[in-house]
C-alpha cells in the first residue's frame, strides 16, 4: 500500500514536471532552450513507465513541434539572404550553433532542415 502511494506520488510529480517543461518549450526562443526544457528527471520507480504517461507524450510532441517551428523560421531567414556566400556562411553558423541541438533525438529534423537549406541555396544561386 505504501509503495503504491509512493509510486503514485512520484508519477504525479513527474507529470507536473512535464507540464512545466511544456510551458518552457512554448516560451523557448532557440533549440538549446527546447532541448534543456525536455530534460525532465524521471524517478527510478517510473523510469520505464514514462513513455506511457500522457503528459510525457505531450511534452515530447511539443518539443518536436517547437524544434520544427524554430527550424522553419531559420530557413525563412536564410531565404532572405541575397548572395550565395552569405547564405552558405549563415547556414554554417546555424548548423554549428542551433542545429547541433537536433542531433540525436531530433536527427530527422536536422536532415530535413539541411536538405531544405541546401536545396534552397542550389536553386536560388545556381
C-alpha count within 13 angstroms, C-beta hemisphere, residue 49: 12
**Confidence (pLDDT) at 7:** 87
**Confidence (pLDDT) at 26:** 98
**Confidence (pLDDT) at 126:** 73
Could you report the average pLDDT of every consecutive run of 10 residues in the chain (126 residues)?
A: 86 96 98 96 88 96 98 95 92 95 94 95 85
Residues 6+ apart with CB under 8 A from 87: 78, 81, 120, 121, 124, 125
**Confidence (pLDDT) at 94:** 96
> Distance between CA atoms of 62 and 64, rounded to whole angstroms?
6
Q: Is the pTM of this model over 0.85?
A: yes
Q: How far is CA 22 from the centre of its chain?
A: 11
Q: Enter the C-alpha cell of residue 87.
A: 547564405
> Distance between CA atoms of 106 and 39, rounded to whole angstroms?
14
Residues 6+ apart with CB under 8 A from 71: 31, 99, 102, 109, 112, 113
Amino acid at each position: 500500500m505504501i509503495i503504491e502511494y509512493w509510486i503514485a506520488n512520484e508519477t504525479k510529480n513527474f507529470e507536473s514536471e512535464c507540464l512545466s517543461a511544456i510551458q518552457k518549450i512554448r516560451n523557448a526562443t532557440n533549440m538549446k532552450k527546447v532541448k534543456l526544457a525536455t530534460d525532465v528527471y524521471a524517478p527510478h520507480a517510473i523510469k520505464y513507465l514514462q513513455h506511457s504517461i500522457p503528459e510525457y507524450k505531450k511534452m515530447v510532441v511539443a518539443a518536436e513541434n517547437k524544434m520544427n517551428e524554430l527550424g522553419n523560421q531559420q530557413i525563412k531567414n536564410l531565404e532572405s539572404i541575397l548572395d550565395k556566400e552569405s547564405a552558405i556562411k549563415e547556414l554554417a553558423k546555424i548548423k554549428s550553433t542551433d542545429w547541433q541541438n537536433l542531433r540525436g533525438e531530433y536527427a530527422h529534423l536536422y536532415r530535413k532542415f539541411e536538405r531544405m537549406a541546401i536545396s534552397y541555396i542550389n536553386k536560388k544561386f545556381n
